[in-house]
Amino acid sequence: MSAAILSGPPAAQALLDEARDRAARLPHRPELHVVRLGEDPASVSYVSLKERKALEVGLGSTVHALPDTTTQPELLALIERLNADPAVSGLLVQLPLPAHIGSGAVLEAISPEKDVDGFHPVNVGRLWTGDAALPPCTPAGVVALLDYYRVPIAGRWAVIVGRSTIVGKPLAALLLARDATVTIAHSRTQGLASLTRQADLLVVAVGKAHLITPEMVRPGAVVVDVGVNRVGLSKSGKARLAGDVHPDVAEVAAALTPVPGGVGPMTVAQLIMNTVLAAERLQAGERVTELVSTAAMS
């Protein structure tokens, strides 16, 4: 038995094609604005990829490249200006931030309607209550990948290894909304292998290379590997990447995402889709902050 490979690029392209079609039906072109502080090579490369994908599907894209000496008040003032700009559909601040800037205050300053990363507490809360929200990109990308390959979710037992606010917790909310039975495991979970062996759908996002080995996987399970770990250099001098799942799991699982080339492309594609979703909702006059204010007053 050898697992079917759930490749990310074709699924990501399908999501981008849908984003392009939906954006073309809007009266105004959606605009994605990304704020980047400093010149960290990884951040520069990742922001450039986001900009390129936005332009490929017909969105506008602007990168606000600020020095890493930018103060928190200066950054918050820029966010406030972009929040108020009706031409801006989606807004994100590239993480990580310099040590002198509090990421919590920055993320909360972004308007929930424009929070295409899906990290604002309002969007997090609405995700868990089942209300319309802009979802975090990686978890939503995982669900889109499963849908593309027609992997059943409803009625399945999903085990998520990893409880981060970026992947594990929001993915649990998304899978619950799709009628999966969800268990979250983490670094303090006792008897991890006995738990993962029961999963129909196993998602691993912990950042530990080859944590999940074949004997930890139920034969016939679908395994999604979100982990990306640098484990040395290749012969060409490039960083070698490994997932959280050992490659030999392919001999046990029914389907498996590769690393790289699995979930990674879905994250960027979902960001583009979130920008279109934000533009659609703003065009329809849906204002999350107004809904929250009204609820608080009632």
Q: Catalytic residues, which ones? A: 50, 94, 117
Residue 2: per-residue pLDDT: 87
Block residue for tokens 């209300």: 131
Q: Please state the domain extents for the chain.
A: 27-111, 136-265
Look up residue 6 and give its two tokens.
Answer: 């759930």
Residue 287: per-residue pLDDT: 61
Cα–Cα distance, 73 to 188 (Å, whole number): 38
Residues annotated in a binding site for NADP(+): 162-164, 228
Q: Helices in the chain by DSSP H: which ranges?
A: 8-24, 41-56, 72-84, 103-109, 121-129, 137-148, 168-177, 192-196, 264-283, 288-297
Residue 237: per-residue pLDDT: 72
Look up residue 208 and give its two tokens.
Answer: 């530990």
Residue 293: per-residue pLDDT: 38
Residue 156: per-residue pLDDT: 98
Cα–Cα distance, 94 to 31 (Å, whole number): 16
In 54-79, which positions are buried (b, 16+ CB within 10 angstroms) versus exposed (e)?
beebebbbebbebeeebeeeebbebb
The series of mean pLDDT values per 10 residues for the chain, 298 residues long, is: 92 98 97 97 95 97 97 98 97 96 96 97 95 94 98 98 96 97 95 97 97 98 96 76 96 97 97 98 72 37
Residue 235: per-residue pLDDT: 73
CATH of domain 27-111: 3.40.50.10860
Residue 231: per-residue pLDDT: 83
Residue 233: per-residue pLDDT: 73
- Do the first three CATH levels of 27-111 and 136-265 match, i.e. the same topology? yes
What is residue 232's three-state secondary structure? Answer: strand
CB 219 within 8 A of CB 249: no
Fold of the domain built from segment(s) 136-265: Rossmann fold (3.40.50)
Give residue-wise pLDDT tens across range 57-80: 999 999 999 999 999 999 999 999
Cα–Cα distance, 271 to 265 (Å, whole number): 10
